[in-house]
Amino acid sequence: MSSTPTFTPELPWLEPGDPFPAVERAWGATDPAPGLLAAGGALDVDTLLRAYSEGIFPWYSAGQPILWWSTDPRMVLRTHQFRLHRSLRKTLIKLLLDQRLVIRFDHDFERVIRACAHTPRKDQAGTWILQPMIQAYLQLHSAGHAHSVEAWIDGELSGGLYCVNLGAMVFGESMFSRRSNASKLAMCGLVAFCLATEIPLIDCQQETSHLASLGATLMPRTDFSQHLRKTTSHRAPVWRFEPVYWNHLITGPDATA
């Protein structure tokens, strides 16, 4: 008996400036690449802003065209559900008491994104943060929509992350560490800032065990899209970290083991 032929759905090709297809048209769970929505287009600021406002993000490797994704379900971190594990809480408090840790926003965005691009990943042979992506997010940063969260320990940039902000919504992109827990400390800083500025959700895009360990959970794409419509039109916060923001995180619920 011959095997049943597999069917690969057509992938829309975008020219620069074209509108994105509806996110409901993204490939489903039984397709070769679940969440893949379209290919082509451009990485200019206007296109990226339209993409994020619709719950779409670019992700592709060397030798591929620009690929656009809208995953379902979506991995998100509700900021009030962030898990500050006991050992990390102890590390954070000691560094703060000893005045060894400083969280800075946008002090050196380019250095952060390039560090993320060169950080090895257990599940990836290379990096998706290619030079065109770096240049695109540098432009997005210059336009005031992309930000770096930097953990400076003993006067050195030890870890960090970069993200995109639209209104009261933050979209996490990538992290790096040069010493133990440094990227987690940057995440702690971001969560404390979000709690202080009433940002309820950080988009994590795709499911990983690491994000789940920090409290991230899955959200249906329909709910995620509804949340975007409610929050992206709000006024964006001032991206400046104040030490008092730590109170929103450290004095929160009891730490987990």
Q: What is the CATH number of the domain that holds 89?
A: 3.40.630.70
pLDDT tens digit string along 230-242? 999 999 999 999 9
Check if the beta carbon of residue 140 is closer than 8 Å to that of residue 164: yes
- The verdict on 41 and 28 lying in the same domain is yes
Is residue 51 in a domain?
yes
Check if the beta carbon of residue 47 is closer than 8 Å to that of residue 16: yes
Of 205, 211, 207, residue with least CA distance to 187: 211
**Token pair listed for 191:** 């969560």
Angle at 234 (CA atoms; ends 193, 172), nearest 5 degrees: 45
- The verdict on 60 and 112 lying in the same domain is no
- The verdict on 82 and 158 lying in the same domain is yes
Helix and strand counts by DSSP (H, E) for the chain: 8, 11
Q: How many whole angstroms separate alpha carbon 213 and alpha carbon 166?
A: 26
How many Cβ atoms from other residues are within 10 Å of residue 164's Cβ?
21
Average pLDDT, the chain: 92
Look at the block and give the residue holding tokens 């975008």: 14
**Helical ranges in 74-215 per DSSP H:** 86-97, 109-117, 131-142, 182-196, 209-213
DSSP H or E stretch at residue 227: helix 221-231
Parent domain of 244: 75-250
Q: How many whole angstroms separate alpha carbon 197 and alpha carbon 107?
A: 20
- 251: confidence class by pLDDT, cuts 50, 70, 90: confident
- The verdict on 171 and 243 lying in the same domain is yes
- The verdict on 119 and 241 lying in the same domain is yes
Is residue 164 in a domain?
yes
- 6: confidence class by pLDDT, cuts 50, 70, 90: low
Is residue 8 in a domain?
no
Question: What is the mean pLDDT of the segment spanning 1-22?
Answer: 80
Longest dimension (CA), the chain: 71
More confident residue, 257 or 155: 155
pLDDT over 60 at 18, yes or no: yes
Check if the beta carbon of residue 62 is closer than 8 Å to that of residue 126: yes
pLDDT over 70 at 255, yes or no: no
251-to-27, 92, 146, 245 alpha-carbon distances in Å: 43, 12, 29, 10
pLDDT at residue number 126: 47
Q: Give how many domains the chain has, as a whole number.
A: 2
Question: Judging by beta carbons within 10 Å of its beta carbon (0-12, 13-18, 19+), is residue 187 exposed, middle or buried?
Answer: buried
- The verdict on 57 and 83 lying in the same domain is no
Is residue 180 in a domain?
yes
**Helix, strand, or coil (residue 228):** helix
- pTM value is 0.92
pLDDT tens digit string along 175-222? 999 999 999 999 999 999 999 999 999 999 888 888 899 999 999 999
- The verdict on 65 and 83 lying in the same domain is no
- The verdict on 90 and 116 lying in the same domain is yes
- The verdict on 24 and 119 lying in the same domain is no
